[in-house]
Chain A
Amino acid sequence: MPQREFDVVIGPTGTVEVTVKGYKGKGCLEAVKMFEKVVGELRSEQKTNEFYEPEELVRYQIDQKH
Chain B
Amino acid sequence: MSAVCVLAPVVIVAWPAFSAAVIAAATSLGYEMASEKSLQKAELEEVKPESVRLEIENSEVVTNQLGRDQRILVSREGVTITFSRDARGRASLCVTGEGYDTETLRTMGEELSQAVVQQYVYQKIMDEMRSRGFTVVEETTTEDRSIRLKVRHWEN
Contacts and interface: CB of A to CB of B under 8 A. Distances in A.
Chains A and B form a bound pair: yes
B115 interface: yes
Contacts of A20: 1-5
A10 B8 contact: no
B9 A21 contact: no
B42 to A, nearest CB: 31
Do most interface residues of chain B lie in helix, strand or loop, or is the interface mixed? mixed
B9 A14 contact: yes
A36 B3 CA distance: 14
A7 to B, nearest CB: 6
Contacts, number: 152
Interface residues of B, number: 38
Contacts of B3: 19-20, 23, 28, 31-32, 45-48, 51
Interface in B1-43: 1-11
Interface residues of A, number: 43
Contacts of B11: 14, 40
Interface of A: 1-24, 28, 31-32, 34-36, 38-48, 50-51
Interface of B: 1-11, 58, 114-115, 117-118, 120-122, 124-125, 128-129, 132, 134, 144-156
30 contacts: A1-B154, A3-B154, A4-B153, A5-B150, A6-B149, A6-B152, A8-B149, A8-B151, A10-B122, A10-B147, A14-B8, A14-B118, A15-B8, A15-B9, A19-B1, A20-B1, A20-B2, A21-B2, A23-B2, A31-B2, A32-B5, A36-B7, A38-B128, A39-B8, A40-B11, A42-B7, A43-B5, A43-B7, A44-B6, A46-B3
